[in-house]
Structure 1
Amino acid sequence: MEGNDHGAKQCDEWKFVSMVLDRLLLYIFFAATLGGTVGVLFSAPNVFEYVDQAAVIEKLKQAAVVEQNTSG
């Protein structure tokens, strides 16, 4: 009887260790994922800049007209 009780106690202890380790690895995974996401967003050059699309389109139109005039 005593050996069976000892085995059950040891099994419960290993279950507790596995739950703690699982939770720890979950936190590490979450931190790495969040850190990577924030790192990618802040390293992107144009994520937080305002781009005046109308001005960009106008410049491209002018460049196309200049190129047409010089080539033909």
Structure 2
Amino acid sequence: MKARVIVTLKNGVLDPQGQAIEGSLASLGFGGVHGVRQGKVFDLDIEGTDVEAARSQITAMCEKLLANTVIENFAIEISN
């Protein structure tokens, strides 16, 4: 089965990279873009067919390695 983990900064956490991207977009002529936030995406191939077991395993991966849960949120999408 396939899983996608999307990691984003929590609201209220400064995002200097997002601000730099926003400024670059404006300088390239893409006006009207505000509040850019950057994040990370991880695509995983998981063995097995038990979706809940996979979700539990991926949650543990996020909490231990993929996300800094002090300043980041994560979302898990699983498909067969």
Q: Larger C-alpha radius of gyration, 1 or 2?
A: 1
- Using the size of structure 1 for normalisation, the TM-score is 0.24
- Using the size of structure 2 for normalisation, the TM-score is 0.22
Q: Which has the higher contact order (CA 8 A, sep 6+)?
A: 2
